[in-house]
Amino acid sequence: MRGAILYGPRDVRFEERDAPTIIEPTDAVIRISATCVCGSDLWPYRGISPVAKPTPMGHEYCGIVEEVGSAVTSIKAGQFVIGSFFASDNTCPHCQAGYQTSCQHKEFISTAQAPMLRVPLADGTLVATPDVPSAHLIPSLLAVSDVLGTGWFAADAANVEPGMTVAVVGDGAVGLLGVLSAKQMGAERIIAMSGHESRQKLAREFGATDIVTERGDEGVARIKELTYGIGADAVLECVGTQKSMMQAIRSTRPGGSVGYVGVPHGVELNGEELFFTHVHLHGGPAPVRRFLPELINLVWNGKINPGQVFDLTLPLDQVAEGYRAMDERRAIKTLLRP
């Protein structure tokens, strides 16, 4: 089969590689219905996170189970399934506590931009939909696999509750779905920080009530202005830079919470400043598995449509253009169909 392989900065190729097979008895092999390019794929794509050797790419996926190993009991061939970017047993103490991305047996899924995918720990990792979905649901079900799950965790980690004022730093797919998540959790006012018109429009569709175009300290000042000098009750940090993290912390009211899900690149926090902010910080790699049943249900019943973040759909063999379009910010998120 052919799949995406990153060779170095801005060099993604669609090349022949081995088709996956069952290796462990707890594995499943799935036939991918749709996969996509993640904002975090752009870090190695841009050379900010170096790649030492040609590396298969992709960690967002949904599809039909082709085959399962002899020890798999709850997942069956023919089912439509969704999993997260970390395989997890869903039984260890960390999984039981809801932190499946810290599973004692976690394995990163990193070869999903391909027609077929091996998923370890299939029983713990994969969640089946009630039936094989109709085509129009597939983008939204794919979004559940990472971007929605991550935006949802940002809101969950920031303790969003009904009636709150929530600010979202970052207008990528995760930030936009953080807006949707905060709305679902009952936030009354949602301030999306974005300087891009098409993204502002989608943020409003997902539930944003206010848009702040300023960034950094000016963005913080604008949030303070909109909240009568108090700051937001909850702030979702969905970028991962020093600037975005400080913008999030400084936009939060004393006693409020920051949920941070942007993978940090060079972020350093000043202990003394943090001490005097009285802000709760909670984040990390989103334990998407915890939220899969609930989010699949919301999509299945037509309550949410997170698949709107995919504004470019390409056949998988044009994966290189999918990366380029996101790198140049011509696309919010690229969906790839094998």
The least CB distance from residue 102 to Zn ion, in Å, is 8
Binding mask 87-106 for Zn ion (x = CB under 5 A): -xx--x--x-------x---
Nearer to Zn ion, 22 or 92 (CB): 92
The least CB distance from residue 290 to Zn ion, in Å, is 11
Nearer to Zn ion, 84 or 277 (CB): 84
In the region spanning residues 10 to 49, those forming contacts with Zn ion, defined by CB under 5 A, are none
The least CB distance from residue 94 to Zn ion, in Å, is 5
The least CB distance from residue 86 to Zn ion, in Å, is 9
The least CB distance from residue 70 to Zn ion, in Å, is 21
Nearer to Zn ion, 92 or 320 (CB): 92
In the region spanning residues 287 to 306, those forming contacts with Zn ion, defined by CB under 5 A, are none
The least CB distance from residue 91 to Zn ion, in Å, is 6
In the region spanning residues 266 to 285, those forming contacts with Zn ion, defined by CB under 5 A, are none
Token code pair at residue 189: 């006012």
Question: Is residue 122 involved in binding Zn ion (CB under 5 A)?
Answer: no
Nearer to Zn ion, 125 or 165 (CB): 125
Nearer to Zn ion, 116 or 292 (CB): 292
CA angle (40 as vertex; 337, 167 as ends), nearest 5: 110
Nearer to Zn ion, 88 or 140 (CB): 88
The least CB distance from residue 157 to Zn ion, in Å, is 19
Residues in the interface with Zn ion (CB under 5 A) total: 5
Candidate segments 82-90, 267-275, 304-312, 315-323, binder of Zn ion by CB under 5 A: 82-90
Nearer to Zn ion, 49 or 104 (CB): 104
Three-state SS for the chain is CEEEEEEECCEEEEEECCCCCCCCCCCEEEEEEEEECCHHHHHHHCCCCCCCCCEECCCCEEEEEEEECCCCCCCCCCCEEECCCEECCCCCHHHHCCCHHHCCCCEECCCCCCCEEEECCHHHHCEECCCCCCHHHHHHHHHHHHHHHHHHHHHHHCCCCCCCEEEEECCCHHHHHHHHHHHHCCCCEEEEECCCHHHHHHHHHHCCCEEECCCHHHHHHHHHHHCCCCCEEEEEECCCCHHHHHHHHHCEEEEEEEEECCCCCCCCCCHHHHHHHCCEEEECCCCHHHHHHHHHHHHHCCCCCHHHHCCEEEEHHHHHHHHHHHHCCCCCCEEEEC
Residues that bind Zn ion in the complex, under the rule CB under 5 A: 88-89, 92, 95, 103
